[in-house]
């Protein structure tokens, strides 16, 4: 379902619509034989054809993968409080640059979870 979600999202964005319009006007479903658009109530934009959606497949996959990476990064970064504590300790040690522990931790997370 994720890939269809991102295909529809990209289609709407290409037609000057927002994600909030997606969430309130489009319903996706899977009946066991594949994902499909069950409800389409987007004002001023025709429901996309399969060929229009398929043309967005590559970018939709990229968006889906990057979304997963963002979620993984968020968990790996730790809480904002812990990050601020690391920054504070780095500042006390005059390491508010690339030698600080906060920077090293964030860089390691980003390197291990690179976006496409």
Question: Quick one: pLDDT at residue 27?
Answer: 96
Give yes or no for residue 43 having a pLDDT over 90: yes
Question: Quick one: pLDDT at residue 75?
Answer: 96
As a CATH number, domain 1-76 is 3.30.56
Q: Which is nearest to 39 in space by CA: 48, 57, 27, 29?
A: 27
**Which class for 110: exposed (0-12), middle (13-18), buried (19 or more C-beta within 10 A)?**
middle
Domain edges within the chain = 1-76, 78-116
Question: Quick one: pLDDT at residue 1?
Answer: 61
For 93-110, what is each residue's pLDDT tens digit?
999 999 999 999 999 999
Question: Quick one: pLDDT at residue 2?
Answer: 72
């Amino acid at each position: 379902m994720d890939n269809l979600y991102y295909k529809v999202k990209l289609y709407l964005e290409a037609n000057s619509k927002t994600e909030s319009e997606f969430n309130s006007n489009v319903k996706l479903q899977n009946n066991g034989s594949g994902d499909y658009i069950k409800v389409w109530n987007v004002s001023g934009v025709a429901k996309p054809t399969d060929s229009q959606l398929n043309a967005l497949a590559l970018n939709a996959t990229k968006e889906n993968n990057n979304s997963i990476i963002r979620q993984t990064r968020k968990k790996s970064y730790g809480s904002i409080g812990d990050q601020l504590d690391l920054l504070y300790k780095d500042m006390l040690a005059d390491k508010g640059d690339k030698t600080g522990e906060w920077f090293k931790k964030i860089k390691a997370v980003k390197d291990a979870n690179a976006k496409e």
